Amino acid sequence: MAEVPSMWRTELWHPLSVHLPVALLTVAGLLALVTPTLGRYVGGKGLKFSYSLLLWLGLATFWVAFYTGQMAYSIEVRRICDPGVLKEHLRWAYIAGAIFSSAAVFDLAQVLLKRRLHLILLGASYLCSFVGAFSLGYLGHLGAKLVYQQGAAVHQPSDDCAEFE
């Protein structure tokens, strides 16, 4: 009789850790769009603080999810039919990480350089977060493709992967 696999397998740590940063960074990207326009009318300082909090928490949890994804990569690359999708997912994870890390650096710089370049750095941080939200969306699309089409979790393709030829 086959034994039920453990819930705490290494390749399952990534799906457990990935959804929180996606939510935090997506909302940060939306706040980056809303804060410059509505911030003048509705609690601008509160919106800026919320943006910074979501950005930094999202970035910290993003890199945890990235690390767990690296651990899952070596296991999953042998099981899926098209490793190119997995490589593209990894590439977009690097891109999204770089964009959101840049947003965090700009956010920190605008706090440290209060008088000089404050608005330019804040705008750069907002722009990076907004663009980062789109890169995160594509990254999530590739992750879903891995889960639902490539056999990383839900869909189990045929042994010869004939449906991908």
pLDDT in tens, 83-123: 888 899 999 999 999 999 999 999 999 888 877 788 889 88
Predicted pLDDT of residue 81: 77
Rg (CA), the chain: 19
Predicted pLDDT of residue 164: 57
* pTM for the structure as a whole: 0.84
Which residues have a Cβ under 8 Å from the Cβ of 92 and sit 6 or more positions away? 135, 138, 139, 142
Predicted pLDDT of residue 86: 87
Q: Name residues of the chain where pLDDT drops below 50.
A: 1, 155
Which residues have a Cβ under 8 Å from the Cβ of 113 and sit 6 or more positions away? 121
Which residues have a Cβ under 8 Å from the Cβ of 85 and sit 6 or more positions away? 142, 145, 146, 149, 150
Do residues 122 and 44 make contact, with C-beta atoms less than 8 angstroms apart?
A: no
Helix (H) or strand (E) holding 70: helix 44-76
Predicted pLDDT of residue 1: 46
Predicted pLDDT of residue 2: 54
Predicted pLDDT of residue 109: 92
Given its phi and psi angles, is residue 2 left (phi above 0), alpha (psi -120 to 50 degrees) or beta?
A: beta
